[in-house]
């Protein structure tokens, strides 16, 4: 179990984590929360109807990490081949889609990250050096989504666009300042992969 998820009876998965690993995942999840920002309910009057009909931003975020987490709905590899009129129409569709979905997407990512933090906060490694994290099937889904978001965020900071970029990371010298971030990116990928495997029937 050390370092990778394994299935547990009744659904869900478990992994043994030491204090350093717990600290790394928790710190990254907290940073993700800070990046996503507070929800509407945290900075607006307590009005359920206002929250229900609240509109999100129509412009894409300027931060490249947030743009990776909340990409335009109507963009793709053929964007350069579009006429100015088609490009303008796609931007309008993307803005409309973002306006009505981004708040919910942010809320979902925020809740998933909070679940990860709460699960880690409930662990105790006192005297043993490591603790076994046991997740329900629902928590596994939330962990998977947060691990994916963390890798997207780190990948954006590392300018990873495809598998070829990932291959280059393995060859970085130890003195490269990106090395710790690369190690975290690869380790999270391993956790994500084993969690997916643990959930497969």
Q: Other C-beta atoms within 10 Å of 195: how many?
A: 21
pTM of the model: 0.81
166 CB-side CA count, 13 A: 12
Mean of pLDDT values over 105-133: 89
Reported as a single tens digit per residue, the pLDDT across 22-77 is: 999 999 999 999 999 876 554 445 555 555 456 666 677 888 998 889 888 776 55
Q: Which residues neighbour 140 within 8 Å (Cβ) at sequence distance 6 or greater?
A: 12, 13, 195, 198, 199
């Amino acid at each position: 179990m050390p370092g990778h998820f394994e299935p547990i009876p009744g659904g869900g998965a478990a992994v043994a984590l030491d204090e350093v690993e717990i600290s790394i995942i928790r710190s990254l999840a907290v940073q993700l929360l800070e990046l996503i920002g507070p929800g509407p309910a945290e900075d607006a009057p307590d009005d359920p109807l206002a929250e229900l009909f609240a509109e999100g931003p129509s412009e894409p975020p300027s931060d490249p990490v947030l743009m990776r987490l909340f990409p335009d709905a109507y963009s793709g590899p053929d964007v350069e081949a579009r006429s100015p009129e088609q490009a303008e129409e796609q931007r309008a569709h993307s803005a409309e889609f973002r306006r009505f979905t981004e708040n919910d997407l942010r809320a979902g990512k925020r809740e998933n990250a909070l679940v990860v933090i709460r699960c880690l906060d409930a662990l105790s490694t006192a005297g043993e050096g490591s603790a076994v994290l046991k997740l329900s099937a629902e928590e596994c889904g939330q962990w998977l989504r947060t691990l994916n978001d963390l890798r997207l965020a780190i990948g954006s900071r590392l300018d990873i666009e495809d598998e070829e970029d990932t291959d280059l990371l393995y060859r970085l010298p130890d003195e490269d300042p990106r090395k710790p971030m690369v190690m975290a990116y690869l380790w999270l990928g391993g956790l994500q992969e084993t969690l997916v495997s643990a959930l497969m029937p």
